[in-house]
Structure formats: C-alpha cells, structure tokens
Amino acid sequence: MSKIFKTLTIAGSDSSGGAGIQADLKTFEEYGTYGFSALTTIVTMDPDRGWHHNVYPMEAALVAEQLKTVYAGGPVDAMKTGMLGSVPIIEAVESCIRKYDQPNVVIDPVMVCKGEDEVLNPESADAIRDLLLPLATVTTPNLFEAGVLSGLGRLTTLDEMKAAAQAIYKRGAKNVVIKGGKALDGEMAIDLFYDGAEYVVLESPKIEPAYNHGAGCTFAAAITGGLANGLTVKEAVAKAKKFVTAAIRSGYRFNEYVGPVFHAGYRLNGE
C-alpha cells in the first residue's frame, strides 16, 4: 500500500456543507489524503433573516486540546487554517505551528463570508497578519482580505493586486495568492500568485450562475492537498485553480440565498 499523506484543517463549521471544515475535509478526501480537523467556530445561516450569518467561536483551550489530539501522531504533511474566530484561538494556532515545526502551512485569512463586507472581527485580522502570515508557506486572501492585510484598502485592478501581494509577502508569507475571483470586475476570474520573485496570473472564464459558496475554502484546501502529495507550491496552486473551477461548474442552487460548490466536481465531471 502506498504511504498515507496527512492533512489538517483548523476552521469553522458550515452546516450548509459548502465552506469551512466540511469543504476542507471533502477536498482532502478528493486529493486522496487523510484529513484531520480542529473546530474553531460554528456558523449558522438563518433563512428567516435573509441568510444572516451567526458566528459562535469555541473556547481557545478546546481548540488547543483538539490540536493535541491531532499532533499525538506527529506533524501532518500539510495543514490549513480557515475561520479562526478569536485572538486567543489565533494564538493557540500560532503556538501549535511553532511547537511542532509544522511544514506546508496554508493560511486562508478568512475575514468575511461572501456577500458581507464587514470584517467579522478587526482584532482577529491584525492577529492573523502579525502572528500567522510569518508562518505561512502560502496565504490565500480574497480581494477584500488582501486589501485589509496589505493596508491598501479596496483593490480594483491587477496592478493594485500586485502591490498588495508585495506588501503581504513583506509580512512574511513565503507565497501569496490573491483571489480576484468573483470580486474583480471583468469576464475572467483572475487570481494572482507571487513568490517574491515572479507573478503568475491564473485565470478562467467567470462561471454563471456563480455557485461559489465555499470556493475560497475549497481552493485553499486543494492547495493543502497538493502540498501533502508532494507538489511544489506553484504546482499545487495551479492544480487547485483547476479543481475549484470544476467544483464551481458542478455547483448547485441550494436555496434562494446560496449555491455551494460541489467538491467532487473535478473527479466526476473533469476540468
């Protein structure tokens, strides 16, 4: 039997199944890896209040206890973070990555859910920037999050994305992927990769209807799966772009508010 590669997600629960820890574990499975998880928050969406999101963070000590369980088997091959929920949780994640000298760390700096443009918690955004970016093998902000992390505010062009990628790289992330995605105007879904030396533009035609709830989590989880399987960062990002594009194309309308990606789309329906 071939070696089993291990992946870990530290993220929130999305009961609607498209994003969060559910997206991550489904994607890890698609990559043929063994997925571990540590739950940080529970998110509910209320159909009686226009799909309003409620976020319930866990105690940081409970997150640390879950991580102790996971690491009882030694470091995993690659890990990712998603919604973290509070500064003490971010501190617990930082100390775990340092303690176990964890390689292949993907930081998805989740600050907003789609359709909402308020940062969930501004202190958490600062803590992600100051404590987690320096540990990131790769970080995957969406356009809004890249504006916050870089301090450049609203980004609207590829040149502004390049400036933001440089600023985020200077914060210590070894590789940066800014997802122009659904938020950048135009006919293409454009993401920008930067490793401190070169820019690579990854693009695909924008899919309509955009069943893209969970696309960001799925993209970061796919990068994590690729790294666990031994791909370089650049290869893992390029494959993840194909994987998430197929997942959006295979997505479906769940209700009047949301259409999630289908994580098995790449395997079942191809590119």
Packed helices 20-30 and 215-228: angle between N→C axes, nearest 10 degrees: 40
Cα distance between the two ends of the chain: 28
Q: Which of residues 178-217 bind ligand PLP (CB under 6 A)?
A: 213-217
* Whether 163 contacts 134, CB under 8 Å: no
14 binds, among ligand PLP, ligand ADP, Mg ion, none (CB under 5 to 8 A by kind): ligand PLP
216 binds Mg ion (CB under 5 A): yes
- Considering the complex, state which of residue 6 and residue 263 has its C-beta at the smaller distance from ligand ADP: 263
Q: Which stretch binds Mg ion (CB under 5 A): 51-59, 149-157, 212-220, 243-251?
A: 212-220
CA distance 25 to 128: 22
Tokens 């928050």 belong to which residue? 41
Tell me: does residue 141 bind Mg ion (CB under 5 A): no
114 part of the interface to ligand PLP, by CB under 6 A? yes
Per-residue interface string for the shown chain with ligand PLP, residues 214-233, x marking contact by CB under 6 A = xxxx----------------
* Shortest Å, Cβ 42 to ligand PLP: 8
Q: Binding segment for ligand PLP among 11-19, 123-131, 170-178, 234-242 (CB under 6 A)?
A: 11-19
Residue 83 touches ligand PLP, criterion: CB under 6 A: yes
- Choice between 174 and 242, CB closer to ligand ADP: 242
Find the part of the chain contacting Mg ion (CB under 5 A) among 89-97, 127-135, 146-154, 213-221.
Answer: 213-221
Instruction: Report the residue from 248, 258, 263, 266 that binds ligand ADP according to the rule CB under 6 A.
Output: 248
| Among 20-28, 64-72, 153-161, 202-210, the segment contacting ligand ADP (CB under 6 A) | 202-210
* Region from 9-17, 42-50, 126-134, 204-212 binding ligand ADP, contact rule CB under 6 A: 204-212
Q: Would you say 212 and 261 are in contact if contact means Cβ atoms under 8 Å apart?
A: yes
Angle at 184 between CA 25 and CA 172, to 5 degrees: 60
Which pairs from 263-271 meet CB under 8 Å and 24+ separation?
Answer: 263/23, 263/26, 263/27, 263/30, 263/214, 263/218, 264/26, 264/30, 266/30, 266/242, 267/30, 270/246, 271/242, 271/245, 271/246
Q: Provide the minimum distance between the beta carbon of 16 and ligand PLP in the complex, in angstroms, as a whole number.
A: 7
- Please say which residue, 67 or 132, places its beta carbon nearer to ligand ADP: 132
User: With contact defined as beta carbons under 8 Å apart, do 127 and 91 qualify?
Assistant: yes
**Whole-angstrom distance, CA of residue 248 vs CA of residue 266:** 10
Helices (H), the chain: 20-30, 60-70, 87-99, 122-127, 143-150, 158-170, 215-228, 233-249, 265-269
239 binds ligand ADP (CB under 6 A): no
Residues that bind Mg ion (CB under 5 A): 216
